[in-house]
Chain A
């Protein structure tokens, strides 16, 4: 088996996870910027984090022969503070030329507030001005449906944005259809408690098709499983899917989306 982990917060994982992922067939890992589990005290904390994502973490992954890519932003959980958000967004352009940066992400909404939405629009503008791919986090639980609709509206309102260059992540059964109908890519996140389980992810793949869909573990410092993607591939086999279909979903699809940025290459 071979697969891509297109969404993993590896700075929060132990080195043994890298080894386990490589043993399971992982050929590349992509790490969107996100919330540390606590609020950083100022833009300097983000500067250090962006250095970690673009310098230190790729070296840690390289020890296992695993290419590491990243996405940069201030995450929606910290974008209620618009002054901080502005300062952090001003730091991003100097990092965009680093060799493992794929685009702007994971941006989006958390509690669907006015400030979060303004910061989302500013990130969309930043991505458009620098011709970057976009990775979007959709809100949790009861906030997901409303947040997904607001995010799609904000994306469509900026005519410079091509939906095929945007992935809307953490879709579930009530949001996947609207994302695909508007021409965006959809990410399905496999979590032990919230988001989706492997059987539900495969249900969505069977019902809505796998043309513009990827699977990810979104493993971070919370309850999550860095091997969720290969475990779902095993479940797909039990459901009678062919090796070619599985390879398409867990390997070829993420490559098709990510290689819209020529920096993304896998061997």
Chain B
């Protein structure tokens, strides 16, 4: 598809999601108390959007991923929270 056609199909949807992200960050700013590691991870992942090539989705996913390679001793619970407490992976 042409860039023009893709804009016609998806611009309004992406615009709405972009404003939702801005409003989410504003809401968190207005909140009280400390934020956990997820906020930092989110901000780092946002930087992936500035890439000049079409690997942004992969870049965001990698930056939120556990970069370690060894299985862990015991499950801390069953769920996942969406971000890794350490530094995620920068994909090249």
Contacts and interface: CB of A to CB of B under 8 A. Distances in A.
B72 A142 contact: no
B66 A145 contact: yes
B9 A238 contact: yes
A152 B78 CA distance: 22
A142 B75 contact: no
A238 B91 CA distance: 31
Interface in A238-267: 238-240
A116 B10 contact: no
A140 B80 contact: yes
A200 interface: yes
Interface string B14-53: 0000000000000000000000000000000000000000
B71 A150 contact: yes
Nearest to B10: A199
Instruction: Label chain A's interface by main secondary structure.
Output: helix
Contacts of A172: 57, 61
Nearest to A35: B78
Instruction: Label chain B's interface by main secondary structure.
Output: loop
Interface of A: 77, 80, 110-117, 139-146, 149-150, 172-174, 199-200, 203, 238-240
Interface residues of B, number: 31
A142 B9 contact: no
B10 to A, nearest CB: 7
Contacts, number: 79
B71 A173 contact: no
B72 A173 contact: no
A113 B61 contact: no
A140 B67 CA distance: 14
A141 B83 CA distance: 7
B12 interface: no
Nearest to B9: A238
B58 A143 contact: no
A172 B61 CA distance: 8
6 contacts: A111-B75, A115-B74, A117-B71, A144-B61, A149-B69, A173-B58
8 tightest CB-CB pairs across the interface, nearest first?
A141-B80, A111-B75, A145-B65, A140-B80, A174-B61, A173-B58, A173-B57, A142-B84
Contacts of A114: 71-73
Contacts of A150: 69, 71
Most-contacted residue by chain B among A113, A139, A142, A238 (CB, 10 A): A142
A142 B71 CA distance: 14
B74 to A, nearest CB: 6
A149 B9 CA distance: 35
B65 A146 contact: yes
Nearest to A239: B1
A230 to B, nearest CB: 19
A116 B75 contact: yes
